[in-house]
């Protein structure tokens, strides 16, 4: 049973990493290359869509890692799982304090109502997101290592 939990948790976190990596390095680059206001409208739509899903995914991933850490505490890899959990906590705190406030503003923007500094705010979100992606990649790598 513990083995199934370990694999399931690693897959859930890995998929989350894949989505966030794709947003950072693929989707946002595509949106930024679109003409006129299309990119900003796409980012707003993405903010609404992913803003609804990702909190559940982040918290769910953290809960799964916590269950793994508790259930497998006697395993040699317990420290790796706990460290991965700590990194996921960092990613959640970063999200709440740094990324969500910008996302909550930008998901309502249209070409008619966006602020003059909308590009700077989007770039700030991107920079924070790059750091968050690095943090969750590190957490994922620790979970994969704990499986081995």
* pTM for the full predicted model: 0.94
Find how far residue 37's CA is from the centre of its chain: 25
User: Which two tokens mark 49?
Assistant: 């869509």
Task: Return the half-sphere exposure (C-beta side, CA atoms, 13 A cut-off) of residue 32.
Answer: 13
Task: Give the separation between CA 147 and CA 127, rounded to whole angstroms.
Answer: 31
Q: What would the pLDDT profile of 20-61 be if each residue is shown by its tens digit?
A: 999 999 999 999 999 999 999 999 999 999 999 999 999 999
Cα–chain-centroid distance for residue 43?
Answer: 16
pLDDT in tens, 55-79: 999 999 999 999 999 998 877 888 9
DSSP state of 114: -
The token pair at 73 is 């505490």
């Amino acid at each position: 049973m513990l083995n199934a939990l370990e694999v399931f948790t690693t897959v859930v976190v890995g998929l989350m990493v894949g989505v966030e990596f794709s947003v950072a390095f693929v989707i946002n680059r595509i949106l930024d290359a679109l003409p006129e206001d299309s990119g900003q409208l796409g980012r707003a739509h993405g903010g609404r869509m992913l803003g609804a899903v990702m909190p559940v995914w982040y918290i769910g991933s953290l809960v799964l890692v916590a269950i793994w850490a508790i259930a497998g505490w006697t395993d040699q890899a317990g420290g790796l799982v706990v460290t991965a959990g700590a990194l996921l906590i960092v990613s959640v705190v970063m999200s709440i304090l740094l990324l969500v406030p910008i996302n909550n503003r930008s998901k309502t923007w249209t070409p008619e109502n966006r602020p003059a500094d909308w590009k700077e705010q989007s770039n700030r979100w991107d920079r924070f997101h790059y750091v968050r992606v690095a943090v969750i990649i590190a957490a994922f790598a620790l979970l994969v290592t704990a499986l081995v």
